Each structure stands twice: as structure tokens, then as C-alpha cells.
């Protein structure tokens, strides 16, 4: 009977203040952490993850912000290179967003972020929490196994 290889999962988790500067820092720290895990700076996987983190963090500070409460970024990558990106916020009274329209109105300057996440992520979704919500996305990386 073949033995199953254990799946190693590496996790990074950090809370950030709900500000634009913190959302930028979340993206930078995510890319740095991925590099430490064997997903090199400037690789397609790193760049895509950076875009997804940037969008989810921007949404958390724009639509999920509660004064005095942070948002949280969590990254988890398994031994096979499957990355899960999660951003949680504390906004309780906002319901889960409807799926984005296939084509947002052309006269709006916003509203395309989740379309970007949809296009770049392998899967994504929203999970309600006791307080707030968690928006997550998965991405297959070409991690080199370092870390």
C-alpha cells in the first residue's frame, strides 16, 4: 500500500489598520513572504498574487472598513504550490456582494476589481463570519519549494 506524502502548509497571517498605506504594505509583505516560500519576485505567480492581495485589501478598506478595526491578510501555501489568499474585514451590516457583472458599466471608474480576481484566481469566494466577512482566492503557483 503506497504511503501518502504529508502536505506541508506554510501560513502567514497579519492584521493591518484599515488605511491605504496598510493595504499597500499588505501587498508588499505578501510578495516578500511568497519569495521566502520559493515564489520569486517578478514571477507570474508573484505578480498575480500581488494583484489579488491589492484588490482584496483595497476592497476591505473601502467597503469593509469599521473605524478602529483592522483587516487581516492570511496566506497559506501547500507543498504542491496551491496558494490561498484570504482578506477579512469587520463590517457586519454589509451583506455578501453579488457576483460581479460580466461587463461593468463603462461610465464607472470602479467596480472591476472582482472581475480581475475572477480572471486571475483559480477559484474565489466570500464567506460570512460572525463579525464581517472573508474574501478568499486560490492560485496555483510555481513555488520552488524553498522556505
Report the mean per-residue pLDDT for the chain: 84
Q: How far is CA 1 from the centre of its chain?
A: 38
d(C-alpha 130, C-alpha 70), whole Å: 15
Chain segment 81-123, per-residue pLDDT in tens = 999 999 998 766 655 555 555 565 555 555 567 888 999 999 9
CB–CB of 90/69 below 8 Å? yes
21 pLDDT band, cuts 50/70/90, is very high
Residue located via cell numbers 501547500: 78
Task: Indicate the pTM of the whole model.
Answer: 0.83
- Pairing between strand 71-78 and 82-89? antiparallel
For 100, the grid coordinates are 460581479
Amino acid at each position: 500500500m503506497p504511503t501518502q506524502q504529508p502536505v506541508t502548509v506554510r501560513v502567514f497571517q497579519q492584521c493591518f489598520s484599515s488605511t491605504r498605506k496598510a493595504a499597500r504594505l499588505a501587498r508588499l509583505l505578501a510578495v516578500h513572504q511568497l519569495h521566502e516560500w520559493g515564489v520569486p519576485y517578478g514571477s507570474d505567480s508573484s505578480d498575480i498574487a500581488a494583484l489579488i492581495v491589492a484588490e482584496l485589501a483595497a476592497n476591505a478598506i473601502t467597503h469593509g472598513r469599521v473605524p478602529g478595526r483592522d483587516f487581516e491578510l492570511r496566506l497559506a501555501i501547500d507543498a504542491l504550490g496551491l496558494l490561498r489568499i484570504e482578506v477579512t474585514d469587520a463590517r457586519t451590516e454589509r451583506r455578501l456582494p453579488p457576483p460581479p457583472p460580466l461587463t461593468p458599466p463603462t461610465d464607472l471608474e470602479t467596480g472591476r476589481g472582482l472581475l480581475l480576481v475572477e480572471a486571475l484566481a483559480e477559484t474565489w469566494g466570500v464567506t460570512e463570519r460572525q463579525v464581517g466577512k472573508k474574501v478568499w482566492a486560490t492560485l496555483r503557483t510555481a513555488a520552488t519549494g524553498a522556505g
